[in-house]
Chains A and B, each alone.
Chain A
Amino acid sequence: MAKSTQEIFDYLKAAYPEVDLVLESAKLGDPWITIPAEHWKKIAKFLRDDSDLRFDTLMCLSGIHYPDEVLLAIACHLHATEKGHTLAIKVKVPESNPNIPSVESIWKTADWHEREAYDMFGIIFDGHPDLRRILCPDDWEGFPLRKDYVPQESYMGINTKYTEVEASDD
């Protein structure tokens, strides 16, 4: 039967008492579980293989930047096709050391999602087989979706700024 996030949280807590899991929620929307980066891969495997959970698909993996707390994070949305439950997970890491273990070996789909998070936020996924930029060119500077991103002024000699063409008023 489908479990709620709360139930899954309790279940995980029981399975991993030593891990510092936090169930969080905001005023609106859905709650999520925050998992420390060093335990992420282990728990991911558990989430996929445990017979009560069976999260066989990773629907989405998004990077997030929290400049206030100087953190980078990923949000993973999991889904269990048979059981029908879904789960949101966040893994937060400091901006200075943005290393998160890759779950590419657990859910293949994480491959491109992680590359995208790397491309856009500079999160480094340890153990990813092919961590290259995916949307931006390989030699692009900066991580565009970080809140403090400043676009480079020119790329390969092309001015990246938009100059407005405006007809004169007359």
Chain B
Amino acid sequence: MVHSFKQGWQTLKSIFTGMGITIRHFFGPSVTLQYPDERDVLPKLARSKLFVNIDDCIGCNLCARACPVNCIDIETVKAGADVDLGKTSNGSQKRLWISRFVIDMAKCMYCDLCTYPCPTDCIYMVQEYEYSDFNRDNLVYKFSNLTPEKIAEVKETARIEAEEAEKKKAEEAAAKAARASKASDSRPSSVPGAARGIPGSAKGIPGKAKGIPGASKGVPGKAQGIPGAAKSIPGKAKGIPGAAKGVPGKAKSIPGTAKGVPGAAKSVPTAAKGVPGKAKGVPGAAKGVPGKAKSVPTAAKNVPGKAKSIPGTAKGVPGKAKSVPTSAKSVPGKAKSVPGTAKSVPGKAKGVPGKAKGVPGGGAAKVPGKSTAKQVPGKKPPKENKDNNTD
């Protein structure tokens, strides 16, 4: 009984204590701001929105590579030797036209990782935080200040220059590749390229893998063993990017490679499926260190045996390239060319595939057909590309 009363008293006491606290707050000041009328002052470093001072940008692509979610997309065109693009505010010489610098703020996760590597400090977070929009497209911010005409012009110039260079290179590369095919022991360092590569340069020239220098390598017709033969156990591919980002759905075949010695290797499933007999192709692609993607598969049109092009190799050592994804399924025998690429934007395998039907279909998966189409004129329209993915 006494206990009950004590308890009852405790209850009432604690209730009144609580009510005393709340009534004090009732008469106390409010801690809130009337938002649209009053605004908090954000600290200097507040991370709210990315901004690029495009005049200072040298197109080095470091920010795009640092982005974990790939929300930055940069496309550059090499300036002609005689063009002076000026210098940035900290004195670096600019050598590239920035034909495209797009940040998708809808994807951005505000981690600020892109701002650290920038050599000219031209990308940074600003404090503007009120930029919500009803249309997601409006959150894609474009920073390039070139007009479309100007872009077309500089691209054309670059294309011509590149074509010439390419020709030279292709010849050299063919010779090299022939040599290389024998040398089978070198070890590829790399991870198959799956995702990363963007054909950048290749822009426009079909059939001719041009691009990125170093990268391409083709497999000569007989490619020694690479294709079919190559076996690399899929599992090994360490990196298979694929898996992660997008690897092509179909890609079951992502041959991996690494580790294996080319040629010798054991088979890649994919390839196998696709191309029996005809070693078609597999253009290989080697890639370097992730992140730097590079690879480009490419073998243009080649019919086996005929392969003409052989593009080069990754990182220089021909013969090493190994992997080629390609989707076997789709292209038996006919792998048409895939231009290669290089820009490495991580994750964005944008252009890769493209055209080739055979191409890495898989890759395509994540890549919208669009960009490719643009870049490789003359090749199959993007639609087809899509179809390819789905089947």
Contact = CB atoms under 8 A, between A and B. Distances in A.
Given A150-B249, A169-B148, A67 B366 contact: no
B252 interface: yes
B37 interface: no
Interface residues of B, number: 29
B136 A150 contact: no
A129 to B, nearest CB: 32
Contact of A170 (B137, B148, B367): B148
B95 interface: no
Contacts of A68: 233, 235-236
B240 interface: yes
B142 A167 contact: yes
B249 A151 contact: yes
A166 B238 CA distance: 31
Contacts of A69: 235
Interface string B118-148: 0000000000000000001110101000001
B234 A164 contact: no
A147 B100 contact: no
B233 A150 contact: no
Chain A's interface size range is: 20 to 34
Contacts of B234: 67, 148
Given A147-B240, A153-B249, A166 B235 contact: no
A67 B240 CA distance: 11
B140 A166 contact: yes
A165 interface: yes
B334 interface: no
B377 to A, nearest CB: 16
A169 B148 CA distance: 8
Nearest to B362: A150
A150 B137 CA distance: 29
B368 interface: yes
B366 A149 contact: no
B240 A164 contact: no
A97 interface: no
B162 interface: no
Given A164-B366, A166-B104, A170-B148, 5 more contacts: A67-B233, A67-B234, A147-B240, A148-B235, A166-B370
27 contacts: A67-B233, A67-B235, A69-B235, A147-B237, A147-B243, A148-B234, A148-B243, A148-B252, A149-B243, A150-B243, A150-B247, A150-B250, A150-B251, A150-B252, A151-B249, A161-B249, A161-B366, A165-B137, A166-B104, A166-B140, A166-B368, A166-B370, A167-B102, A167-B140, A169-B100, A169-B142, A169-B148
5 closest A-B pairs by CB = A67-B235, A167-B137, A167-B140, A68-B236, A68-B235
